[in-house]
Amino acid sequence: MLTTNPFAENVLNIPSYALQGFLILMVIFTIGGVLLDMMHKKNVKFFFENAKKAKLSATKSVATGKKVSIIVKTLAHDVATSAEFCGVTRRITHLLGMYGTIFFWIASAVMIFNTASTSTFYPLLWHVGAIMTCVGGYWFWFVQRVDVRAEGNGWSRIVFADLFVLSLVATSTFGLLWSFFQASNSIGLATLFFVLFVISNVVLFGGVYWSKFAHMFYKPGAAIQKHLAEEDGSRDDLPEPADLPKQYGLGIKRSEPQNY
């Protein structure tokens, strides 16, 4: 199963051109959803206006070479290693989910556009990516969500903001189950999970406008801007950290922050 391309000779015998059309539709949904989101929230407009405003309170100018090095460092550290998460386990689940999803999407595209290939690498990448997303996603969902971990709500409480994480783990879960039952020739269950796989993808990509999906495009830009603002002294109009030892009192030791 792990080294078989599930899209080639899939259970419903859907031709590769239809699978390719579906994938392109999902890309269009993503681009459309992000553009609509930007127009609705005006966040990109705010971002650039804020960056322009920040420049006015800059205390020094940053050379282009330095700017490039800040951007490269931010991408290599903050973005690639999910360094914005202070909690180690929260960071691990995000890394599992992020890289798992990236592997899964890349492998899906390669396998859908090259169903004739006999390479075992991409099928393996697809299955490993799906498993990583499930481990990271379910770990986050059952244990680490703010409303479960910090606010004491039950794991089964579902709110609209969960649309992204739930549809994300659903695509990986249904994909794995479809592949498993297809490999073991259980046609009925393979058909069921294939249909659920298609529906969960439509929800994930069709729901970009309403979900947290777009954060993967916004967060890197915000992290770069934050570091540039630290370097040019504008610091987003925030005060510099005090040059004093951290003293929060004993209370903070009684209840360690857990959610982030």
Summarize as ranges the residues that interact with ligand HEM (CB under 6 A).
78-79, 84, 94, 97-98, 101-102, 162, 164-165, 168, 212, 215-216, 219-220, 223
Whichever of 123 and 137 has its CB closer to ligand HEM, that residue is 137
What minimum distance in Å lies between the beta carbon of 215 and ligand HEM? 5
> Using alpha carbons only, what angle is made at residue 257 by residues 234 and 170, rounded to the nearest 5 degrees?
95
What minimum distance in Å lies between the beta carbon of 59 and ligand HEM? 27
Q: What is the DSSP letter of 240?
A: P
The dihedral sign for the CA sequence 224, 227, 230, 233: negative
| DSSP string for residues in 99-166 | HHHHHHHHHHHHHHHTTT---SHHHHHHHHHHHHHHHHHHHIIIII-HHHHTT---TT---GGGHHHH
Cα Rg of the chain (Å, integer)? 22
Whichever of 101 and 234 has its CB closer to ligand HEM, that residue is 101
- What lies within 8 Å, CB to CB, of 102 at 6+ separation is 129
What length does the chain have? 260
What minimum distance in Å lies between the beta carbon of 47 and ligand HEM? 14
What minimum distance in Å lies between the beta carbon of 221 and ligand HEM? 9
Whichever of 57 and 81 has its CB closer to ligand HEM, that residue is 81
Whichever of 132 and 190 has its CB closer to ligand HEM, that residue is 132
Burial pattern 116-136, b for ≥16 Cβ within 10 A else e, equals eeeeeebbebbbbbbbbbbbb
Whichever of 111 and 223 has its CB closer to ligand HEM, that residue is 223
What minimum distance in Å lies between the beta carbon of 64 and ligand HEM? 23
- What lies within 8 Å, CB to CB, of 110 at 6+ separation is 117, 122
Q: How far apart are CA 165 and CA 207, in angstroms?
A: 11
What minimum distance in Å lies between the beta carbon of 75 and ligand HEM? 9
Cβ-contact 103, 131 below 8 angstroms: no
What minimum distance in Å lies between the beta carbon of 199 and ligand HEM? 19
Whichever of 147 and 180 has its CB closer to ligand HEM, that residue is 147
Whichever of 122 and 164 has its CB closer to ligand HEM, that residue is 164
